[in-house]
């Protein structure tokens, strides 16, 4: 049977495979597992959501599941995912539940869980919760049934937290922010204004159905147009639940997560905040990031793809900055998970402090052309073991030398092998990738 929990909680078509019954069962199971681990008090859960229409239904189901298992529920309304993680810690809660499907289209939704302190749930606890989903249990009655409370000042608390994490004000900056008609529609413009920026907000009128619809961090064209039309210093793009951030410079050029990490790493090294002068990124980060960090004496550690692996490395090694090319950036001194608003404010504070255009700051890193091809195969394990594939990869790596990179990565869920090549030119990268695709296809 397929695992219920994916890399980022339980996700699916709302009212389809992600039914209210399933959401209620997951929530009840989570409360029961928590109570089994610590029976000293009644569990408390913080519950929030993004503005997609199905969130109202699923929030009611989650609240019902939690209270039926004896947990109290603190509802904070529509807030970014990192705000839920923050409120778990601030309210000293035992669990956080964010109802969101992040950058997925509106019909989808998800249930993401946070442990005490706003940390990601350990895999072992997720496994226990999954095993308990659908199981019968003795339900509390009378005063043992959980209660539901609305926390009206959660946004204000989150904004205070964000403003404390910004080293300097943003006065003088003119910024366009694309809120993706999502969870950041109110929080992001208000946070940036309170920090001193002049803010033009776009896609900040969610109606429950327009989240991520041709906007946000996965559709940057409208933000680029708005930055140019408004003569802004830069643009910021969030996804539906605002745990990621991408940027656009004053000329309308995209600044991706790798470039954002490069800017922040050098700023934090200068201020003494970059623990061990080390940045954590995934294997998908561009070779240009590696070269830029090497040039500035910043060590770069790489992990498997996924922010959970970046978080694990940051915690284990006691490091202070990590993230992904997609714009998930983690600053453990200020947040327990990727926070797109925090990332944006730290990036803008660097622009303001140096009085340098974002293009100049991001220019510390040159992105090498990258070609990624998904190759359907019959047996991805056979590809991984193939001597001919290994020889082909070695040959391309020899040709590219230090000026390029090859990565073959099997999909975790499908019979696919992802072939990625970086090279000094797109033509070289494309040619090398197609050679490898041919070898992979013949073996798999």
Question: Is 391 tagged catalytic?
Answer: no
- The DSSP H or E segment spanning 444 is none
Secondary structure of the chain in HEC code, one letter for each residue: CCCCCECCEEEEEECCCECHHHHHHHHHHHHHHHHHHCCCCCCEEEEEECCCCHHHHHHHHHHHHHHHCCCEEEEEEECCHHHHHHHHHHCCCCEEEEECCCCCCCCEEEEEEEEHHHCECCHHHHHHHHHHCCCCCCCCCHHHCCCEEECCCHHHHHHHHHHHCCCCCCCCCEEEEECCCCCCCCHHHHHHHHCCCEEEEECCCCCCCCCCCCCHHHCCHHHHHHHHHCCCCEEEEECCCCCCEEEEECCCCEECHHHHHHHHHHHHHHHCCCHHHEEEEECCCCHHHHHHHHHCCCEEEEECCCHHHHHHHHHHHCCCCEECCCCCEECCCCCCCCCHHHHHHHHHHHHHHHCCCHHHHHCCCCCCCEEEEEEECCCHHHHHHCHHHHHHHHHHHHHHHHHCEEEEEECCCCCEEEEEEECCCHHHHHHHHHHHHHHHHHHC
- CA dist 228 and 222 (Å) reads 10
In whole angstroms, what is the distance from residue 72 CA to residue 398 CA?
60
* Pairwise CA distance, residues 332 & 323, whole Å: 11
How far separated are the first and last CA of the chain, in Å rounded?
Answer: 25
Which residue out of 102, 217, 320, 386 is catalytically annotated? Answer: 102
CA angle 390, 395, 397 (to 5 degrees): 95
Phi-psi region of 111 (alpha: psi -120 to 50; beta: other; left: phi over 0): beta
By the 8 A CB rule, do 97 and 164 touch? no
Question: Which residues participate in catalysis according to the annotation?
Answer: 102
């Amino acid at each position: 049977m397929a695992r219920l929990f994916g890399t980022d909680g339980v996700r699916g078509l709302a009212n389809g495979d992600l039914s209210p019954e399933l959401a209620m069962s997951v929530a009840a199971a989570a409360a029961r597992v928590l109570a089994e681990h610590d029976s000293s008090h009644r569990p408390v859960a913080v519950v929030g959501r993004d503005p997609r229409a199905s969130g109202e239904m699923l929030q009611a189901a989650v609240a019902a599941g939690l209270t039926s298992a004896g947990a109290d529920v603190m509802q904070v309304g529509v807030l970014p995912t990192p705000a839920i993680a923050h409120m778990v810690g601030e309210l000293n809660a035992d669990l956080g539940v964010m109802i969101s499907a992040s950058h997925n289209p509106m019909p989808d939704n998800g249930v993401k869980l946070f442990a005490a302190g706003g940390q990601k749930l350990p895999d072992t606890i997720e496994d226990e919760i999954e095993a308990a989903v659908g199981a019968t249990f003795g339900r509390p009655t009378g005063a043992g049934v959980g209660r539901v409370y609305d926390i009206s000042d959660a946004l204000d608390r989150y904004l205070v937290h964000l403003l404390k994490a910004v080293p300097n004000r943003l006065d003088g900056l003119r910024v366009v922010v694309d809120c993706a008609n999502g969870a950041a529609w109110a929080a992001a413009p208000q946070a940036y204004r309170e920090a001193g920026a002049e803010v033009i907000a776009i896609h900040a009128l969610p109606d429950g159905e327009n989240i991520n619809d041709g906007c946000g961090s996965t559709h940057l064209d409208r933000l680029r147009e708005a930055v140019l039309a408004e003569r802004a210093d830069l643009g910021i793009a969030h996804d539906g639940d605002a745990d990621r951030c991408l940027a656009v410079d004053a000329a309308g050029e995209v600044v991706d997560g790798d470039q954002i990490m490069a800017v922040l790493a050098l700023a934090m090294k200068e201020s003494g905040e970059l623990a061990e002068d080390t940045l954590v990124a995934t294997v998908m980060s561009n070779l240009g990031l590696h070269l830029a960090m090497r040039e500035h004496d910043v060590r770069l550690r790489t992990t498997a793809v996924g922010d959970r692996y970046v978080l694990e490395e940051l915690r284990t090694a006691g490091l202070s900055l990590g993230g992904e090319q997609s714009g998930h950036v983690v600053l453990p001194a200020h947040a327990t998970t990727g926070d797109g608003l925090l990332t944006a404010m730290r990036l803008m504070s660097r622009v303001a402090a140096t009085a340098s255009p974002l293009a100049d700051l991001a220019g510390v890193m040159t992105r090498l052309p990258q070609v990624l091809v998904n190759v359907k195969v019959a047996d991805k394990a056979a590809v991984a073991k193939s001597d001919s594939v290994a020889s082909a990869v070695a040959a391309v790596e020899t040709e590219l030398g230090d000026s390029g990179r090859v990565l073959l990565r099997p999909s975790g869920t499908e019979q696919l092998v992802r072939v990625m090549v970086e090279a000094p030119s797109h033509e070289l990268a494309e040619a090398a990738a197609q050679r490898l695709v041919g070898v992979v296809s013949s073996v798999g």
